[in-house]
Structure 1
Amino acid sequence: MNPDELAATLEEAGLSPYQADAFVTLLERGSASATDVAQASSVPDPRIYDVLRGLEERGYVETYEQGSLQARARDPAEVLEDLRSRADRLEDAADEIEARWTRPDIEDHAVSIVKRFDTVLARADELVRSADHQVQIGLTPAQFDALEDALGVAREGGADVKLCLFPETATEPSLPSTDRLAAACTEARYRHIPAPFVALVDRAWSCFAPNEHSANEYGVLVNDRTHAYVFYWYFSTCLWDVYEPVYSARDERLPRTYVDIREALRRIEPLLAEGKQVEVTVEGFETDSGRETTVSGTVTDVGYTGQSNTEGESVPIAQFAGKAAVTLESDGRTRTVGGWGAIVEDVEAVRITLEAAV
């Protein structure tokens, strides 16, 4: 850095142009009389005394009398500390500006568009950690590494975690070990082609971003049940239903808990067809009041818009895209139970536990 550049930088750090020029001159000379400093710099003779005293007050130089006013640069330790402190504050300010620019106040918006994938990943980490009931997430193995701890927290907290892994590019990646998947999810599946990142938490929050190799980098953060429902169907049809598990903590033994009424219907309908009495416990909300409720009873009927599979095979999830409900007899009362966004049913189910089928 040449003297002019150093002087310009010192001006940015708060010195006046004359102070910066005089200080650089003293650095080069070590010590000099006030008159010599004025002659070697751009400081006018009448101003040199005020300039040197200003530098002395700020700790940059010290002055002394030796026939005439003399000045010398002080030990730079204090000056360096001041400059580095300013640099740290500027760096912090730059980071804060970047954060405020890329991540608006999410709490005040139903939908936020952000510019960086890191913002989406950071928000997904926060939301997954706070999950109460369920998480559906599609991500690459590298993104799994970044969110593994958050997924583990959700799992330990009792959330049902569905995880779809897919490659970042056409190259097949190494998948996490079974032990890592067991700690992070309830069930994992693998899709062999790349896909966008998506995370859904408790039917309310959705985080979405295109594949990292997309031409445009952006993300969408949604705090809205209706929008989240659209992402749920994307996850169910494109990332989940057509792929086989690579890990699952589930088995067919009862009792078994479902967080999706459509998956519960897949299991309950064949049991009813066999003439079995199906007992369930439903945790959810009364649709007319919004109050939490738990209902236990016997399933008397199931209903959905699609067609049953008469050959005994599993009904595709798309067949449940319309109405999906079960009818319960509980304490002499008939109640209808729907799934996500239930309106006409008595209860919106959050968890359905299939207790017994006899």
Structure 2
Amino acid sequence: MSSDDPRAALARVGERFDLNEYEISAYLAVLEAGQLSASEIADRTEIPQPRVYDTVRSLAERGLLTLQESRPIQVLAVDPEEAFADAHDSLEALISDLEARYTEPARETGAVSLIKSRSSILRYVEAVIEAADYELVLSLTPALLKRYESELAARREAGVTIELLVTPAAEAPSTEEFEYRSVATRARARRGITTPVLAVADGSYSTYATQDAIAWDGDRYGVVFNRSALGFLLSGFFNTVLWTTAQPLAENGFEEHFPRRYASIRRCVKDLAQHDALTEGNGSLTATIEGRDILSGEYLTVSGRVVGVSLASDEQSAALEIETDEGERDGETVSVGGRVAALEDVEAHEIYLDHEPTADGN
């Protein structure tokens, strides 16, 4: 079947299974008995005698029954495997084609997409997980954690930093039952059922849904954000509201590999606080910031040595200080904040870190 012709396949499958009430009753009666006359079919079903012949002839034309010309006419069952062979093949091909279309959510269609079925929401969550190149934050129920365990492990293996929230906490598997470090850089659990299901890849591509929408199909919905300015809304909500009110489960700690890339300045600063390159004699960290000037709105790139970090105790604000080494700001110390920064000089959209060792290689 051509992958661009699912409509015709749907029509073929629908035609095969479009049986009315009389046809269903007659077919099942003959299937159970193997062979019946028209009067016997009428006796075993609620089909009026005058309608029996039309009904069984319709089924015979579809290849579901055969008619044996005798007196009286005998109606014989056809092996279902043979009767539905063509429908089975069409259905398998159709499912394969529809699944290919269904599992490839289109990201380019708009900034925001509304999704209204549980299965679609789950597909988008998976798509966001698989799209992450360097940073992923997500909130999952224990059942979804199990569902996406292999996908998360693959992203961790690829070097993606993952912050995982499991909710409700009462149902989260213990660290003895589940190896959180294999699927997340940091994992926490949050109490209650009010926490939404969400996933944000690299601070941009993201999806959001309530736990009700995941629990069953109905009058529920999810939202997909395809652009970074909107994905930041979910990332900020996760960082400031959800993550800070959750209890730690497991943490891998700082991973010593450079260069590194961040969409979240909070995550960047937390890592730097654990890294000794900011202390004398251990080389230096350099940063390249892509963002914009908070006063003029001009998009810019700032590069230089990291000379300071700050992180509020509630983790709701974070900043870097960069000693610049090029351009008009050469030699200046520039303060860098996250999205919608107001107190710093630069609003960071992406942060690239690298480590310059000392002369002795440390």
Q: CA shift at 1:339, angstroms?
A: 6.1
The question of 1:280 aligning with 2:285 is answered yes
The question of 1:205 aligning with 2:205 is answered yes
Q: CA shift at 1:118, angstroms?
A: 3.5
2:228, 2:118 → 1: CA distance? 22
Q: CA shift at 1:159, angstroms?
A: 0.7
In the alignment, which residue of structure 2 is the partner of 1:262? 266
Q: CA shift at 1:129, angstroms?
A: 2.1
In the alignment, which residue of structure 1 is the partner of 2:119? 118
**C-alpha contact 1:13 1:86 (8 A) present in aligned 2:** no
2:125, 2:142 → 1: CA distance? 15
In the alignment, which residue of structure 2 is the partner of 1:248? 251
Q: CA shift at 1:154, angstroms?
A: 0.8
1:109, 1:347 → 2: CA distance? 24
**C-alpha contact 2:338 2:348 (8 A) present in aligned 1:** no
Read off the aligned partner of 2:208 and give its amino acid letter: F
2:180, 2:158 → 1: CA distance? 16
Could you report, residue by residue, the CA deviation over 1:244-277 in whole angstroms, capped at 9, with x for unpaired residues?
A: 5321111498989573323444656xx9999999
Q: CA shift at 1:238, angstroms?
A: 1.9
The alignment partner of 2:232 has SS state of helix
Across the aligned residues of Structure 1 and Structure 2, the Cα RMSD in angstroms comes to 5.7
The question of 1:330 aligning with 2:330 is answered no
**C-alpha contact 2:288 2:351 (8 A) present in aligned 1:** yes
Question: Once structures 1 and 2 are overlaid, which stretch shifts more, 191-200 or 87-96?
Answer: 87-96
In the alignment, which residue of structure 2 is the partner of 1:318? 316
Q: Could you say which structure has the larger radius of gyration?
A: 1
2:156, 2:347 → 1: CA distance? 29
Q: CA shift at 1:199, angstroms?
A: 1.0
Question: Once structures 1 and 2 are overlaid, which stretch shifts more, 176-185 or 219-228?
Answer: 176-185
Q: Would the alpha carbon gap of residues 232 and 73 (structure 1) be closer, same or farther in structure 2, given more than 3 Å must change?
A: same
Q: Would the alpha carbon gap of residues 157 and 257 (structure 1) be closer, same or farther in structure 2, given more than 3 Å must change?
A: same
Could you report, residue by residue, the CA deviation over 1:71-114 in whole angstroms, capped at 9, with x for unpaired residues?
A: 6545623x763347547867997999999999985542322222
In structure 1, stretches of 5+ residues that fail to align are 1-8, 32-39, 303-307
2:66, 2:289 → 1: CA distance? 73
Q: CA shift at 1:204, angstroms?
A: 1.3
Q: How does 1:143-222 map to 2 (within 5 A)?
A: 143-167=144-168, 171=170, 173-177=172-176, 180-194=179-193, 195-212=195-212, 217-222=220-225
1:140, 1:247 → 2: CA distance? 16
TM-score normalised to the size of structure 2? 0.61
Could you report, residue by residue, the CA deviation over 1:299-334 in whole angstroms, capped at 9, with x for unpaired residues?
A: 3567xxxxx79xxxx5433234xxx45323337945
Q: How does 1:1-358 map to 2 (within 5 A)?
A: 12-13=18-19, 27-29=35-37, 42=50, 55=60, 60-61=65-66, 72-73=74-75, 76-77=78-79, 81-83=82-84, 85-86=86-87, 107-167=108-168, 171=170, 173-177=172-176, 180-194=179-193, 195-212=195-212, 217-243=220-246, 245-251=248-254, 259=262, 260-265=264-269, 267=272, 279-282=284-287, 285=290, 297-300=304-307, 315-320=313-318, 324-330=319-325, 333-334=330-331, 338=336, 345=346, 348-353=349-354
Q: Would the alpha carbon gap of residues 326 and 223 (structure 1) be closer, same or farther in structure 2, given more than 3 Å must change?
A: same
2:269, 2:78 → 1: CA distance? 76
TM-score normalised to the size of structure 1? 0.62
**C-alpha contact 1:326 1:338 (8 A) present in aligned 2:** yes
Read off the aligned partner of 2:238 and give its amino acid letter: F
In structure 2, stretches of 5+ residues that fail to align are 1-14, 40-47
Q: Would the alpha carbon gap of residues 114 and 263 (structure 1) be closer, same or farther in structure 2, given more than 3 Å must change?
A: closer
Identical counterparts, % of pairs: 21
Q: Would the alpha carbon gap of residues 98 and 10 (structure 1) be closer, same or farther in structure 2, given more than 3 Å must change?
A: closer
2:155, 2:90 → 1: CA distance? 36
Could you report, residue by residue, the CA deviation over 1:328-356 in whole angstroms, capped at 9, with x for unpaired residues?
A: 33379458585665997497433435667
2:95, 2:37 → 1: CA distance? 36
Q: Would the alpha carbon gap of residues 129 and 29 (structure 1) be closer, same or farther in structure 2, given more than 3 Å must change?
A: same
Q: CA shift at 1:237, angstroms?
A: 1.3
**Alignment coverage as a number of residue pairs:** 314
